[in-house]
C-alpha cells in the first residue's frame, strides 16, 4: 500500500470540514453563541493543518491508486474525518468522553443517527448544526465513493453497472473533476430545495436547515428529540415524504432532471422501487387505518432514515424488514438493496422454470432493461446476502454481552448495518448509547462503517494483506 498516494486524496477530504467549521464560526458570531466558538476555531485550524500536511506529503506522488488502496482511502476518510468532526463534541460543555464524541461523529458521517445525547433541544444550537452538517458531508462523501470508486469494473460488487450510472466515460481522468463538482452542485441544490420547501410550509428556519441536511443524506439526527415537534401539518408531511423518496432513488435521476434529459427507460430500478413502496403502503394501509404518517414510515424505512411520526408496536418487525431491503444501488441508502433481491428472486424462479420446462427461453435482463444478469452478478448478490447476515451474527454476539437483551441486540444490529436510526418505529427509542460498554460502542462504530462499504470490502483488504497479491 502506497500511503503517499493515498495521503494526497485524504488531504482533500479535510478541507470541507474546514469550510463547515468556518460556517459554524460565522453562525456563532452572528447569533452571539460564543460559548463553544473556540472549538470550531480549533477544528478549522486542525483540519487545515492536516489537509495541507497530507497534500504536501503526497504532492509529488503518482496520485494513482488501485482499488484496494481506494478502499483503504475510504476507511481512512471515515476515521480521520470522524476524528475532526468529533473535536467540537469533545470540547463542548456536554462532558463528552472522546469515545462518545467519536461515536457521535461516525454516526453522523455514516448517516446512521445513533446518539449518546438526550434532550437535544437544550443543546447549544451550533452543536445541533454541527451534528446535521456531519450527516450532510457524510452523504456527499459517500456519493463520491459510490460513483467514482465503487464503480470499478473489476471489483464491482456494488453492481452499479446494472442500473443507470451516467454517461460512458464518466470516470475518465479528464472528466472526474468536472463531474465531482457536478455532484456537489446538485447535492447542494437539492438540499437547498428541501430546506426551502420546509420553510415555505411553516417549519422554522433553523429546523428547516437541519432537517434538510438530515434527509438528503438519509441520516437520523434531528434538531429536536422527536420529529413530531418539527413536522405537524399535512403540507409539512408531504414535503417529508417527497424528500424521503428522493433519498432512496438513483442519484442519476437528479442528474437527468437537472440536465433536462428524460430517460425513464434507464431508471427502471426507480420505477420498481416506487412500485414496491406503493405495494407496501397499500398492504399496511389495508391492515391499518390509512394515514400520511404510515406512508412516511414506509418510505423512511426504505430510505434507511428511520425517522417517524408514529410509535409502532405491532409493526416494528415489519418496518425492520423493509430497512433490510434499502433503496437504489446508486443512492445514500444502505441495506442489501432491492436490485440484489431482484436478481436472486429472478434467477431462483428461472431455475424452477428450467426444471419444469427445460426448453423454455429464460429472460435474464434486469428490470426489463437491456442489461443482462450474468453468473457473477448472482454469485455477488448471494455473497452480499450471506455477508449481511454474517455481520448481523457477529455484531449481535458482541451486543448481547452488554446486557441489553437478545431482541434489542438483534434489532440494533440490523439498524447498524442498514445505517438507520433507532427510532420509535422499531421500539428502540429508549436505548441509551452513552451507557453501553466500550466494546459495544467500538463494535457499533466498526459496523456502521461496514454497513456503508460492505463486508466484502473488508474481505478484499484482508486478502490483499495476507496474500500480498
So what's the pLDDT on residue 469?
55
User: Is 310 in contact with 341 (CB distance < 8 Å)?
Assistant: no
- 8 Å CB contact between 410 and 418: no
What are the CA-CA distances from residue 312 to residues 138, 306, 316, 357, 419 (Å)?
A: 29, 12, 5, 45, 19
Cell digits of residue 269:
430500478
Angle, CA 123 vertex, CA 92 and CA 424 arms, to 5°: 120
pLDDT value, residue 368 = 75
* Distance (Å, whole) CA 33 – CA 81: 24
The pLDDT, as a whole number, for residue 117 is 87
Q: What predicted TM-score, i.e. pTM, was given to this entire model?
A: 0.92
SS3 of 134-167: HHHHHHHHHHHHHHHHCCCCCCCCCCHHHCCCCC
Q: What is residue 168's predicted lDDT score, i.e. its pLDDT?
A: 47
The three-state secondary structure class of 372 is strand
Q: Is 332 helix (H, G, I), strand (E, B) or coil?
A: coil
CA–CA separation, 183 and 200 (whole Å): 26
CA angle 16, 131, 206 (to 5 degrees): 100
Which residues, other chains included, contact 268 with Cβ-Cβ below 8 Å and sequence gap of 6+? Answer: 366, 367, 368, 369
First to last CA, the chain: 11
Q: How far is CA 427 from the centre of its chain?
A: 21
Largest CA distance in the chain: 76
Per the document, the length of the chain is 469
DSSP codes joined into one string, 265-309: GG-HHHHHHHHHHHHHHHHHHHHS---HHHHHHHHHHHTT----S
d(CA 322, CA 298): 8
Distance (Å, whole) CA 436 – CA 107: 15
CB 85 within 8 A of CB 117: no
Q: What is the mean pLDDT of each run of 10 residues along the chain (469 residues)?
A: 84 93 90 85 95 88 82 94 95 88 95 89 88 94 87 78 65 63 89 95 94 93 90 93 92 77 74 90 74 90 91 83 91 91 88 78 77 85 92 93 88 95 88 91 95 89 75
424 contact partners, CB below 8 Å, separation of at least 6: 308, 310, 311, 312
Amino acid at each position: 500500500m502506497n500511503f503517499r498516494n493515498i495521503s494526497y486524496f485524504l488531504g482533500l477530504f479535510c478541507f470541507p470540514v474546514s469550510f463547515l467549521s468556518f460556517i459554524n464560526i460565522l453562525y456563532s458570531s452572528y447569533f452571539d453563541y460564543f460559548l463553544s466558538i473556540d472549538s470550531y476555531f480549533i477544528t478549522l485550524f486542525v483540519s487545515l493543518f492536516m489537509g495541507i500536511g497530507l497534500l504536501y506529503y503526497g504532492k509529488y506522488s503518482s496520485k494513482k491508486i488501485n482499488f484496494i488502496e481506494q478502499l483503504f482511502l475510504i476507511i481512512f476518510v471515515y476515521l480521520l474525518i470522524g476524528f475532526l468532526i468529533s473535536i467540537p463534541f469533545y470540547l463542548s460543555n456536554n462532558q463528552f468522553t472522546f469515545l462518545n464524541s467519536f461515536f457521535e461523529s461516525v454516526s453522523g458521517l455514516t448517516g446512521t443517527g445513533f446518539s449518546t445525547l438526550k434532550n437535544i433541544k437544550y443543546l447549544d444550537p451550533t452543536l445541533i448544526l454541527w451534528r446535521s452538517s456531519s450527516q450532510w458531508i457524510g452523504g456527499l462523501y459517500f456519493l463520491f465513493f459510490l460513483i467514482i470508486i465503487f464503480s470499478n469494473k473489476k471489483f464491482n460488487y456494488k453492481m452499479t453497472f446494472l442500473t443507470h450510472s451516467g454517461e460512458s466515460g464518466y470516470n475518465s481522468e479528464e472528466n472526474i473533476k468536472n463531474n465531482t463538482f457536478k455532484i456537489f452542485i446538485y447535492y447542494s441544490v437539492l438540499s437547498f430545495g428541501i430546506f426551502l420547501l420546509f420553510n415555505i410550509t411553516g417549519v422554522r428556519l433553523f429546523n428547516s436547515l437541519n432537517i434538510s441536511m438530515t434527509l438528503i443524506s438519509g441520516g437520523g439526527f434531528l434538531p429536536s428529540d422527536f420529529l413530531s415537534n418539527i413536522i405537524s401539518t399535512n403540507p409539512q408531511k408531504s414535503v417529508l415524504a417527497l424528500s424521503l423518496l428522493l433519498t432512496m432513488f438513483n442519484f442519476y435521476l437528479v442528474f437527468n432532471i437537472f440536465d433536462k434529459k428524460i430517460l425513464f427507460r434507464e431508471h427502471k430500478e426507480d420505477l420498481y422501487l416506487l412500485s414496491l413502496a406503493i405495494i407496501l403502503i397499500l398492504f399496511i394501509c389495508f391492515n391499518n387505518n390509512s394515514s400520511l404518517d404510515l406512508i412516511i414510515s414506509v418510505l423512511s424505512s426504505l430510505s434507511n432514515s428511520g425517522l417517524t411520526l408514529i410509535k409502532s408496536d405491532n409493526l416494528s418487525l415489519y418496518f425492520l424488514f423493509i430497512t433490510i431491503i434499502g433503496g437504489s444501488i446508486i443512492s445514500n441508502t444502505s441495506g442489501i438493496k432491492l436490485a440484489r433481491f431482484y436478481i436472486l428472486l429472478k434467477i431462483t424462479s428461472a431455475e424452477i422454470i428450467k426444471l419444469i420446462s427445460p426448453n423454455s427461453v429464460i429472460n435474464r435482463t434486469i428490470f426489463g432493461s437491456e442489461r443482462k444478469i450474468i453468473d457473477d452478478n448472482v454469485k455477488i448478490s448471494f455473497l452480499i446476502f450471506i455477508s449481511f447476515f454474517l455481520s448481523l451474527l457477529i455484531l449481535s454476539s458482541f451486543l448481547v454481552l452488554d446486557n441489553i437483551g437478545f431482541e434489542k441486540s438483534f434489532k440494533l444490529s440490523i439498524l447498524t448495518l442498514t445505517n438507520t436510526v433507532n427510532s420509535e418505529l422499531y421500539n428502540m427509542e429508549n436505548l441509551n448509547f452513552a451507557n453501553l460498554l466500550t466494546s459495544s460502542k467500538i463494535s457499533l462504530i466498526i459496523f456502521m462503517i461496514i454497513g456503508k462499504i460492505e463486508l466484502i470490502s473488508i474481505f478484499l483488504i484482508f486478502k490483499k494483506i495476507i496474500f500480498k497479491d
